[in-house]
């Protein structure tokens, strides 16, 4: 028997043909439509308690008797014995790569198979490992371990991601088990950092000791624990079944096991996920009012702590339906901001989160992965229907959303007080890439002072628990390694982000991380040309493909790879990441970017309102007018006089040497000289004080 509810259908496949296990029947709707399950029996090549297939496809006439279409990944999951097979066999073979099914399954273990796209001919396969660090927290021991692994088994660098985790690139298949087991045994994990399940839970990285910030971090930790896979596949594959799990708070265990509203698969090794896990990746962020360091509206679920007048947390506002990924030239795919769902008391947050996840699990599309994120389910249903279904799994109504103050982007760079007598120091890292002298110096500091660290959602580092007496020596040694006080870093760099893209990402269409340094220098040159001030900053984000890993659709100026050496330009995001950008121009070649940048920045300089950001300016003027200005652009009419007219070169010989060096970096002699002087002054200032 099969009955529909919305568009959900599922199948229970018992292991023993003689035994039919009770299936998960979900909840009744407000109209008492049952979530029935169709029972079918198939033999399986291995022993597993139950295989639960939840499939959601577009609504079709009830007369249809055809089997719902499923993506290939759904079949891989179904036949995997809870994400074990064939990965457990593939990693033992002598080949440098793994097969298609294992390539999909290893994502759940926190790894992607990659190959060097700069090379021609035979593919050089390697693996990228991504850690899972709720709230970006990295214990001292784990950082030192990751630093060692990068040198011994990786490409010699670590990368900080936009979801507060590490990425370790270049690990060979023969070393995978060694690297994975080492991470696990040193307070780390990669479980669920990729794959169709809850990814790393974001929270403000600042180690502030206020009740709100501590509660936000605790909530992020508890949500991460609640949604961590329970079937043990990760430990079976990488540490031969040995468990390295820390004790969980009783409220997490209670919430996970609670099935009073039919959120769980009874008797399944994965009570929340079942055999099929989720239709696609799932992202959650937690924060406090005003602090939008986590890009709260870009997540499937955004959670905001609400406190009373004494700063005591009382409950949480919930947003749902954010997501960045899209596909070029497919208008049915789109970036989307989260929208308001409601408010829950603090003791109910885990149950509310579980209800939302169960709704996406049972109703999200599984036929086409391009439309499998929760944002498409909400866009299809509308927020009211979605809320009604979630409330059935939650078991109660959501309370009205509590009013919040305006959001701000907070980077937490520089020195700050934690609130417990200690200090923390936020360090800017260009594109999150830690290598060379910077990596060596960071290790020395973290090891010498026994510091813990945190990773920010903007790919930066926060060193925690620093004594006041350590401030000057730490500042000096960091500055000498290029980790400067933020006032000495170009403002354009401070807010910029890029995804790794080439050479290892298989989805990249063009450059991002490797291309952004030159693009930022060119934007700075355009600023100077049109008369913008040094501190007139713009949030710039670049990705090598439309999946949006660096969240370009929230940027004031987003560049999204849409062809070889070509970008789609997005405009209209805001500095506090509360407004979605829109596509402005397609197929702009990298060498032609100034033809677009110059008129846009020139008219922003000339026509902006007081304190109007670039993103707000482009939204106010409108794209039709902006395109007209770009099309008619004939160059800067008159460059405003420089504020200071300093003669930098006393003789021709010095100028010629500087000019030759500058050309190697695509700069003018004047630009390079100014940069050298700024860096020298910065190192001197950092050496003296803060």
Same domain, 509 and 583: yes
Query: What percent helix, strand, coil does the chain show, rounded to 5?
Result: 35, 15, 45
Q: What CATH number is given to the structural domain containing 454? A: 3.90.480.10
> What are the pLDDT digits (tens) for 641-671?
555 545 666 666 677 777 777 766 667 777 7
> What are the pLDDT digits (tens) for 19-30?
222 333 333 222
Measured from the Cβ of residue 31, the count of other Cβ atoms closer than 10 Å reads: 6
The pLDDT of residue 660: 73
Same domain, 238 and 371: yes
Look at residue 399 and tell me if it is in a domain. Answer: no
Look at residue 178 and tell me if it is in a domain. Answer: yes
Same domain, 337 and 255: yes
Same domain, 627 and 676: no
Question: What 3-state DSSP class applies to 637?
Answer: coil
Within 503-568, where are the H helices? Answer: 516-530
Q: For residue 176, what are its two tokens?
A: 């995978």
> What are the pLDDT digits (tens) for 678-687?
776 666 665 5
- Domain stops at, among 485, 517, 534: 485
Look at residue 233 and tell me if it is in a domain. Answer: yes
Same domain, 383 and 280: yes
Look at residue 598 and tell me if it is in a domain. Answer: yes
Q: What CATH number is given to the structural domain containing 612? A: 3.30.413.10
557 lies in which domain range? 495-632
Quick one: 565 exposed, middle or buried, by C-beta within 10 A (0-12, 13-18, 19+)? middle
Cis peptide before 451 (omega within 30 of 0): no
Look at residue 15 and tell me if it is in a domain. Answer: no
Q: Which residues contact 283 (CB under 8 A, 6 or more apart)?
A: 163, 198, 199, 202, 298, 299, 300, 301, 322, 323
User: What are 670-679's contacts with CB under 8 Å, separation 24+?
Assistant: 671/521, 671/524, 671/525, 673/648, 673/649, 674/648, 678/488, 679/484, 679/488
Measured from the Cβ of residue 202, the count of other Cβ atoms closer than 10 Å reads: 31
Q: What CATH number is given to the structural domain containing 147? A: 3.90.480.20
Same domain, 159 and 242: no
Same domain, 169 and 277: no
Look at residue 661 and tell me if it is in a domain. Answer: yes
Considering only CA atoms, which of 187, 158, 189 is closest in space to residue 171? 158
The upper half-sphere exposure of residue 152, i.e. CA atoms within 13 Å in the direction of its Cβ, equals: 11
Q: Which residues contact 172 (CB under 8 A, 6 or more apart)?
A: 96, 125, 126, 127, 153
* Interatomic CA distance for residues 73 and 278, integer angstroms: 11
- Domain stops at, among 361, 394, 427: 394
* Interatomic CA distance for residues 5 and 393, integer angstroms: 14
Beta bridge partners of 566: 563, 589
Same domain, 499 and 469: no
The structural domain count of the chain equals 5
Phi then psi for 442, rounded to 5 degrees? -60, -45
- Provide the percentage of residues in the chain whose pLDDT is more than 90: 80
- Domain stops at, among 366, 394, 422: 394
E strand intervals along 321-409: 339-345
Considering only CA atoms, which of 248, 231, 125, 127 is closest in space to residue 180? 127
The pLDDT of residue 48: 36
Same domain, 372 and 477: no
In Å, how far from its chain's centre is CA 223?
17
Look at residue 55 and tell me if it is in a domain. Answer: no
Same domain, 626 and 665: no
E strand intervals along 242-356: 284-287, 301-307, 313-320, 339-345
Same domain, 438 and 548: no
CA-to-CA dists, residue 65 to 9, 14, 60, 103, angstroms: 12, 22, 10, 33
The pLDDT of residue 59: 43
Q: Which residue has the tokens 């901001």?
A: 337
Counting as low any pLDDT under 50, the low residues of the chain are 1-63, 639-640, 645, 689-690
Look at residue 206 and tell me if it is in a domain. Answer: no
* Interatomic CA distance for residues 675 and 35, integer angstroms: 65
Same domain, 460 and 535: no
Within 60-139, where are the H helices? Answer: 72-78, 87-90, 100-105
> What are the pLDDT digits (tens) for 406-416?
999 999 999 99
The upper half-sphere exposure of residue 13, i.e. CA atoms within 13 Å in the direction of its Cβ, equals: 21
């Amino acid at each position: 028997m099969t009955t529909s509810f919305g568009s959900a259908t599922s199948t229970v496949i018992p292991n023993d043909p003689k035994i039919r296990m009770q299936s998960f029947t979900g909840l009744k709707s407000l109209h008492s439509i049952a979530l029935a399950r169709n029972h079918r029996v198939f033999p399986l090549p291995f022993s597993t308690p139950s295989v639960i297939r939840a499939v959601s496809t577009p609504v079709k006439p009830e007369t249809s008797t055809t089997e719902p279409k499923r993506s290939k990944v759904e079949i891989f999951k179904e036949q995997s014995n809870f994400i074990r097979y064939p990965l457990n066999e593939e990693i033992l073979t002598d080949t440098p790569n793994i097969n298609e099914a294992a390539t999909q399954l290893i994502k759940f273990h926190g790894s992607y198979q990659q190959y060097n796209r700069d090379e021609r001919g035979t593919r050089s396969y390697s693996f990228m490992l991504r850690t899972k660090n709720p709230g970006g927290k990295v214990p001292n021991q784990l950082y030192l371990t990751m630093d060692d692994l990068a040198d011994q088994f990786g490409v010699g660098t670590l990368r900080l991601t936009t979801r507060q985790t590490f990425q370790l690139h270049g690990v060979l298949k023969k070393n995978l088990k060694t690297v994975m087991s080492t991470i696990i045994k040193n307070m780390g994990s990669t479980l669920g950092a990729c794959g169709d399940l809850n990814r790393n839970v974001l929270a403000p990285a600042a180690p502030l000791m206020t009740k709100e910030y501590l509660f936000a971090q605790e909530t992020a930790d508890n949500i991460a624990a609640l949604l961590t896979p329970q079937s043990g596949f990760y430990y079976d594959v990488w540490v031969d079944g040995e468990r390295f799990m820390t004790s969980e708070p009783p409220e997490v265990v209670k919430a996970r096991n609670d099935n009073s509203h039919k959120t769980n698969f009874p008797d399944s090794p994965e009570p929340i996920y079942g055999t099929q896990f989720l239709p696609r990746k799932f992202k959650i962020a937690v924060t406090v009012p005003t602090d939008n360091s986590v890009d709260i509206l870009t997540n499937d679920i955004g959670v905001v702590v609400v406190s009373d007048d004494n700063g005591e947390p009382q409950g949480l506002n919930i947003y749902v339906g954010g997501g960045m990924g899209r596909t070029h030239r497919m208008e049915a795919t789109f970036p989307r901001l989260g929208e308001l769902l409601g408010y829950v008391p603090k003791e109910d947050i885990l149950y509310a989160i579980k209800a939302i996840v169960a709704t996406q699990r049972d109703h999200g599309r599984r036929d086409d992965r391009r439309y499998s994120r929760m944002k498409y389910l909400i866009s299809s249903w509308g927020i009211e229907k979605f809320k009604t279904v979630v409330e059935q799994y939650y078991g109660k109504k959501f309370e009205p959303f509590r009013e919040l103050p305006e959001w701000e982007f907070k980077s937490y760079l520089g020195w700050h007080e934690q609130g417990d007598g200690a200090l923390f120091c936020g360090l800017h890292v260009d594109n999150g890439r830690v290598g060379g002298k910077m990596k060596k110096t960071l290790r020395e500091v973290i090891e010498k002072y026994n510091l813990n660290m945190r990773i920010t959602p903007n790919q930066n580092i926060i060193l925690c628990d620093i004594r006041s007496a350590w401030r000057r020596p730490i500042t000096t040694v960091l500055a000498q390694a290029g980790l400067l006080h933020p006032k000495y870093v170009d403002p354009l760099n401070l807010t910029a982000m890029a995804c790794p893209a080439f050479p290892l990402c298989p989805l990249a269409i063009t450059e991002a991380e490797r291309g952004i340094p030159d693009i930022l220098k060119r934007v700075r040159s355009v600023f100077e040309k049109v008369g913008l001030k040094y501190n007139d900053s713009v949030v710039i984000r670049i990705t090598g493909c439309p999946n949006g890993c660096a969240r370009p659709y929230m940027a004031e100026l987003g560049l999204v790879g849409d062809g070889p050496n070509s970008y789609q330009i997005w405009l209209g995001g805001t500095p506090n990441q509360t407004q979605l950008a829109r596509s402005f121009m397609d197929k702009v070649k990298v060498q032609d970017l100034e033809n677009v940048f110059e008129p846009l920045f020139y008219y922003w300089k000339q026509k902006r309102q007081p304190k109007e950001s670039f993103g707000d300016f482009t939204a106010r003027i409108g794209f039709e007018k902006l395109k007209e200005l770009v099309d008619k652009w004939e160059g800067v009419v008159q460059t405003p006089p420089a504020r200071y007219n300093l003669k930098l070169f006393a003789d021709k010989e010095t100028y010629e040497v500087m000019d030759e060096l500058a050309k190697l970096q695509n700069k003018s002699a004047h630009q390079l000289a100014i940069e050298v002087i700024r860096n020298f002054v910065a190192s001197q200032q950092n050496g003296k004080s803060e």
